[in-house]
Amino acid sequence: MRLKLNSRGVGVLPLVAGISVASIITVAMVSQMGLEGFKRSTFAYTEWETNLGNQKALGLGGYFVAHNLVLCREDGWRDLAEGVKCRWGGGYHNPRISESKYNIKSVEYENGDLVLSILNAEKNQKSYVTKLKMNLVDWSKQASFRPMVGEIPVWNALSDDDKFMVLMTAATDLQIAEGKNKTVTKSGAIRRPIGTPNVQIQYNTGRESCIFECEAGSTLSPNPECRGPLGVPEEGGSATLGVRISNLGPGALYKLKYERTTTFNQEIYPGRAPETTLVDAMDKQEVFMPGERLDTEIERKCYNPVRTFTTQNVQRVTTGNVGTTSTTSSTSVTVASTFRALSSEHFNVSASRFDPTEATRDLAGFSKRYNPYDSKTYRPNTTLSVIEPKRLGTQLPTIEVSSPQETVSQTTTTTTVVVRPRVVESTPSGDGDGDGDN
């Protein structure tokens, strides 16, 4: 078929072709300009995008807290401004986890809040930013938060008394007109995960045994070398135990101070009261991460009974016809060393605000009257231990330690000797001739 050329036909196809090409180019240019505009924008353009950005940010915030990527400490941090309690915790992981892995453009602090700027990038290359603010709050002091947390059952409260939660607020700017926008926010909260401290006593420090040395041989010593009592002070020598504490997780710990209670064998120390001290396991360390281990040494006293050895030498001398009496009392001491359980060490971290024995003795009755917000309904826990967060995965163990115990046997021998003098007669002296007057 041949195309007939005329005045009308000649202009039709080129014109149509020209218009089509021009339209495609124009649409492409406009589309490209629009995409560039979206790339540069920090606003969401629909309610759906706004809600999506806020929900995504809250979900990420919960993930960060649960996986110790955001760490929140009640007392704040030494290297941050006062009042800042939450920080990005990727640097405490090994290997380090960068915030850029989660499309976080910046990490900042505003009015005590941790602020994460999260980039929301869609497949069509549109992008906008949601700001996530995070802070640690005491929900027990704000009645509006209590329904969110709910009531902690009494039995769970034995190991859970954490009054803090991480409050999160996501904010996304929505563009409602050219040059005009509004901020849409959504809030949520999450509790910090529990920590599980595990204690192991190491017996290979080389100084865990109570070894008492003999006195050095000397002519001035009443017990040279080992012929008498061992050279031990009345309260005993000392030894060290290695203590290894591991955090089994899943949460980080920010404080760990445990009670160390020493109870004594009442057969050896009748009436001696237990001794309680507080040991700061973390010292100046601000966070104790899951999988981390703390090694330290604690002093252990080697208790011994007070020993009194008495040696008396009494001599009484009289002169004349009565005679001389000598009385000597000597004491010989034999010392042997045996191992007996003198004391037990109890390491304890308690998280409940009430005395645990009160609940375990009558759980049903205690559950009815217990009100965590009314201190008159329970007997306070007197423990000195401190843990943060107060959500405990396990209790620390009780261990038994043995120390050398001196067994002392004492023998006293008394010898009395009386010596009477022989009488000597004296006669008057004569002239020596032997004759006398007889």
Higher pLDDT, 240 or 93: 93
pLDDT band at 257 (very low <50, low <70, confident <90, very high): very high
Instruction: Tell me: pLDDT of 147 over 70.
Output: yes
pLDDT band at 263 (very low <50, low <70, confident <90, very high): confident
Instruction: Tell me: pLDDT of 88 over 50.
Output: yes
pLDDT at 229: 46
Average pLDDT over residues 288-298: 90
Length of the chain: 438
Task: Using alpha carbons, select from 209, 207, 277, 205 the residue that is nearest to residue 244.
Answer: 205
290 touches 393 (CB < 8 A): no
pLDDT at 293: 93
CB atoms under 10 Å from CB of 134, counted, come to 24
For residue range 321-331, what is the model confidence (pLDDT) as tens digits?
555 555 555 55
Whole-angstrom distance, CA of residue 223 vs CA of residue 334? 11
pLDDT at 384: 92
Q: Which residues of 207-220 are buried (b: 16+ CB within 10 A; e: fewer)?
A: ebbbebeebeeeee
pLDDT at 204: 55
Average pLDDT over residues 428-433: 52
Q: Which residues of 410-424 are buried (b: 16+ CB within 10 A; e: fewer)?
A: eeeeeeeeeeeeeee
pLDDT at 309: 43
For residue range 11-31, what is the model confidence (pLDDT) as tens digits?
332 333 332 333 322 233 323
Is the peptide bond prior to 428 cis by the omega test (within 30 degrees of 0)? Answer: no
pLDDT at 381: 92
pLDDT at 414: 54
Whole-angstrom distance, CA of residue 351 vs CA of residue 246? 18
DSSP output for 322-383:
S-EEEEEEEEEEEEEEEEEEEEEEEEE----SB-HHHHHHSHHHHHHH--TT-GGGSPBP--
Find all residues with CB under 8 Å of 249, minimum gap 6, and list them: 193, 195, 196, 290, 291, 393
